[in-house]
Chains A and B, each alone.
Chain A
Amino acid sequence: MSYGTNGNRFAIQTFSLSRKFGDLVAVDGIDLSIKEGELFSLLGPNGAGKTTAIKMLCCLLRPSSGTATVMGRDIHEDPMAVKQIIDVSPQETAIAEYLNAWENLSLIGGIRGLAKEEVKKRSEELLEMVGLAKRAKEQVRKFSGGMKRRLSIAMALVSDPQVLFLDEPTLGLDPQSRRGIWEHIAELKGKKTIVLTTHYLEEADALADRIAIIDEGKIVALGTPQELKDSISDMQVMVVKAKNLPPDVIEGLKEIYPEVKTTDDGIEIGAKELSFYEIVDYLRPRGVAIQSTSLKQPTLDDVFLHLTGKELRE
């Protein structure tokens, strides 16, 4: 085992990290090494174990077996040392409802031991960044869901931690706010180690240095976004734009081509070898009105579907 402090700069290492809830294995023997300054993304469908993994790394959940280190400190042996250097934006919005936005940021700054001046300066920047500067003095229970969410993320950034955990930071935000948060995360890149979980593939694709795809508690793939895409470069994806696509027809098609994904205006079919005629001959007689077909490069979405058999978004 090599820890981050002796030359081999790993910010986070997990060793067969596992967590059970009763009979359910939520995280199943994860081994990861995340480099210092890396932006590492955990991608996985609902219930894959992402939040459970992050909670263990934040010392909120005890592993059932295995362990992990954060900047060389063991999460089980020395949780206080770990807590000194991390911060987290939880998946659920976590704010004090009766305080105003400003006071919420001060609260975090205070318990993380920052000087008042520092908190003030950073809070101003952060409130500006999340677009809440004008409403900073209002009790946050009167905020909209998206505003609360943005404040909750800003709270994770006050203390400027060495290691930052962002659990689905942009879930439920409008595209504009999401882009704002992305820009900020991109600015932090390289300056600190960030572990980001997300349902938005474009988010991981745009931001992450490396991505681990997690399914049913296990890591099923690991690599840079490009490596993951290359891993299925021999795959073809056919885009079918069509009207009148009943679910049972899609299910039937899956018996021929297992990797079928529904899109807004049709389906996408991924496979090593695709037969255009086979697909059209299957769909036409079943009353599907095909408008167009085309081939495209596989995306991370397709990698995901290929590896887990699941679509990422519910």
Chain B
Amino acid sequence: MKFAELAIRNFKEMLRDPMHMGLEIGIPAGFLAIFWALGRSMGGESFFTTTMLVPGIAVFGFAFLLMFSAMTLSRDRESALLSRLLTAPLKPRDFILSYSLPYIPMVVLQIAVCFGIGALLGLEMPGNAGLAFLVLLVMGICSVELGMILGLLFNVNQASAVGSVIITLVALLGGIWIDIEAIGGVFYGIGNALPFAHAIDAARYAMIGAGFSSIATDFYWVLGYTVVFFALGTFLFRWRMVE
């Protein structure tokens, strides 16, 4: 496990950068509180119930993780450090793992924060919290693997721009605040092709009591994307390894 040391370094860099912790935890927490308050003041049958909001905002938080992981890898690619590390006998897969594994604790933390704040705001999970957690966990990993791809394709500035676009896309097409099925058309088509809406839906259903079999399609949809993103990231890393 030669890559462990590099994964630890990347984890430490993340912890030691206050921006990271602030945004990655602050954004889901803040958005959750704001939209919950909005839902309350609208009253009646609002879309903004905790059951609807918690999975959506968790996934929204992952989009920030996606952007940060992309920027970290991209910044390192431009530095002499990564080219030094590339002279070590590590495989492309090792590099991708050491840049994405450190984000998994962050994914878990984000989900925990969303669940925790959700609980404070009255979230009830009559269904399977563990299953909802699992779906979100895979979605979080999927986001980070997509971040790897962006980090390999773009420089830091581009990665942050593309990251912002993706954050917006997730917000619009993920079905976080609006019911994309009700809108239909191209909007729904794109949203439905991407993994985000599937993860959010599956987590919502799991929270209110759906079993695995009824969310299996959504779950595998997300898992499929994760595997594809990881493979593509590894392929791109190999391509970037020698100029």
The residues of A with any CB-CB pair to B shorter than 8 Å are 55, 58-62, 79-80, 83-84, 86-88, 90-96, 98-99, 103, 106-113, 139, 155
B243 contacts which chain A residues (CB < 8 A)?
60-62
Q: Which 4 A-B residue pairings sit nearest by Cβ, starting from the closest?
A: A110-B5, A94-B80, A92-B80, A83-B89
A95 touches B81 (CB 8 A): yes
Q: Which of B24-64 contact A (CB under 8 A)?
A: none
Q: Other CB < 8 Å A-B pairs besides A88-B84, A94-B84, A107-B9, 16 of them?
A: A58-B87, A60-B86, A61-B242, A90-B83, A91-B80, A94-B79, A96-B13, A98-B17, A103-B9, A103-B12, A110-B5, A110-B8, A111-B2, A112-B89, A113-B2, A113-B89
Measured CB to CB, the closest approach of chain A to B120, in angstroms, equals 33
Specify the chain B residue showing the minimal Cβ separation from A119.
B5
Task: Tell me which of A60, A91, A96, A110 contacts B87 (CB under 8 A).
Answer: A60
Task: Tell me which of A84, A99, A103, A111 contacts B85 (CB under 8 A).
Answer: A111
Specify the chain A residue showing the minimal Cβ separation from B89.
A83
B85 contacts which chain A residues (CB < 8 A)?
111
Task: Tell me which of A60, A92, A93, A112 contacts B242 (CB under 8 A).
Answer: A60
Q: Which of B1-30 contact A (CB under 8 A)?
A: 2-6, 8-9, 12-13, 16-17
Measured CB to CB, the closest approach of chain B to A61, in angstroms, equals 5
B17 contacts which chain A residues (CB < 8 A)?
98
Query: How many angstroms between the C-alpha atoms of A83 and B83 in the bound complex?
Result: 12
B84 touches A155 (CB 8 A): yes
Specify the chain B residue showing the minimal Cβ separation from A87.
B87
Query: How many angstroms between the C-alpha atoms of A99 and B5 in the bound complex?
Result: 12
Measured CB to CB, the closest approach of chain B to A67, in angstroms, equals 13
Q: B86, B87, B90 — which one has the most chain A CB atoms within 10 A of its CB? A: B87
A59 contacts which chain B residues (CB < 8 A)?
87, 242
Measured CB to CB, the closest approach of chain B to A72, in angstroms, equals 16
Query: How many angstroms between the C-alpha atoms of A100 and B7 in the bound complex?
Result: 16
Task: Tell me which of B5, B83, B89, B242 contacts A107 (CB under 8 A).
Answer: B5
Confirm or deny: B182 has a beta carbon within 8 angstroms of a beta carbon on chain A.
no
Measured CB to CB, the closest approach of chain B to A153, in angstroms, equals 12
Query: How many angstroms between the C-alpha atoms of A6 and B243 in the bound complex?
Result: 32
Measured CB to CB, the closest approach of chain A to B242, in angstroms, equals 5
Query: How many angstroms between the C-alpha atoms of A113 and B1 in the bound complex?
Result: 8
B89 touches A84 (CB 8 A): yes
Confirm or deny: B88 has a beta carbon within 8 angstroms of a beta carbon on chain A.
yes
B5 touches A111 (CB 8 A): yes
A111 touches B3 (CB 8 A): yes
B91 contacts which chain A residues (CB < 8 A)?
80
A106 contacts which chain B residues (CB < 8 A)?
5
B12 contacts which chain A residues (CB < 8 A)?
98-99, 103
Measured CB to CB, the closest approach of chain B to A112, in angstroms, equals 6
* Contact A60/B83 with A98-B16, A98-B17 known, Cβ cut-off 8 Å: yes
Query: How many angstroms between the C-alpha atoms of A86 and B86 in the bound complex?
Result: 11
A80 contacts which chain B residues (CB < 8 A)?
89, 91
Task: Tell me which of A83, A88, A96 contacts B9 (CB under 8 A).
Answer: A96
